[in-house]
Chains A and B, each alone.
Chain A
Amino acid sequence: MRRLFPYPLLIVAIALAWLFLAGFSLGQLLLGTAVALLAAQGLAALRPAKPRLRRWDFIPRLVGIVLLDIARSNIAVARVILSGEREKLRSGFVSIPLQLRDPVGLAVLATIVTSTPGTAWIDYSDRGGILLLHVFDLVDEDDWVELIKNRYENLLLEIFE
């Protein structure tokens, strides 16, 4: 079973994506599942680190928080671009020491940070676990460290480690 279905979630996701694109029918389900099984074998050959989700129940909360924050950030950045206060805008870099080491958790954090208009993931140092973030409208550096650590990292730690 392990050899045939190395990444069950991935197989389901690819088969579903196939059905969304090709339409729902028995033939497409079989075809999509075949493609998904092949793709999973391909991924298994690459031997990526297997993500281990410890707390499924925290995922909806994380998604809710992130959607809300992205909405706020959209409004904030749109306001700056519209208002023409570009000269007064103080952007800057913030270094954030991260506890999170799980590669999948870091990938999720990168997706969150880059999907938020106000923040951009610039660099990450493996050695010290330091994330270098560029913040569009930087008022207080400590606020951003707190935001990333308390709002996202704690939840990601619960989910992945």
Chain B
Amino acid sequence: MSPEQDIPLWLALGVSILALLGAFLTLLGTIGLVRLQSFYQRIHAPTLGTSYGTASIVIASILFFSYVETRPVLHEVLIGIFITATTPVTLMLLGRAALYRDRAEGKDPVLPADEQADAVFPITSSRPHRQ
């Protein structure tokens, strides 16, 4: 009998719900990436997958394998840590590249950050960006 058939119902339910939730959030993130209107909106969507999408799948994996191997299996936590620590790097790189390109093309979606730095406190200047 394989270990998959041995697990109790409550664990099977919990693991399934978490795994499906994680998969659903990640899928939703990719749908958003395709369907949203502008670049700056699109970079928000995949974050669904890199935040609680990853977290749900990681927790499901920890629960399942800890039970099956009857010892705490925690190395999945590292996946979560690495994803959380590396996402800002690529996201900021993409965001700044997009901003640089938009400004170079003369269609600045915001006032330049340096001009704002010289303005009076408090500064809350923004307008909906173009597509």
Contact = CB atoms under 8 A, between A and B. Distances in A.
Interface stretch (A26-34, A45-53, A86-94): A86-94
Contact of B52 (A70, A114, A128): A70
A78 B99 contact: no
Residue picked from B36, B114, B126, most chain A C-beta under 10 Å? B126
A120 B46 CA distance: 11
Interface string B52-74: 10000000000000000000001
B124 A118 contact: no
Contacts of B40: 91, 93, 120, 122, 134
Contacts of B96: 122-123
Interface residues of A, number: 48
Nearest to A19: B75
B32 A81 contact: yes
Would you call the interface of chain B mostly helix, strand, loop, or mixed? helix
B126 A92 contact: yes
With most chain A CB atoms within 10 A of its CB, the pick from B41, B118, B127 is: B41
A111 interface: yes
A117 B126 contact: no
Given A70-B52, A71-B52, A134-B40, A86 B117 contact: no
10 contacts: A20-B74, A77-B45, A86-B35, A92-B126, A92-B127, A95-B124, A121-B92, A122-B92, A123-B96, A134-B44
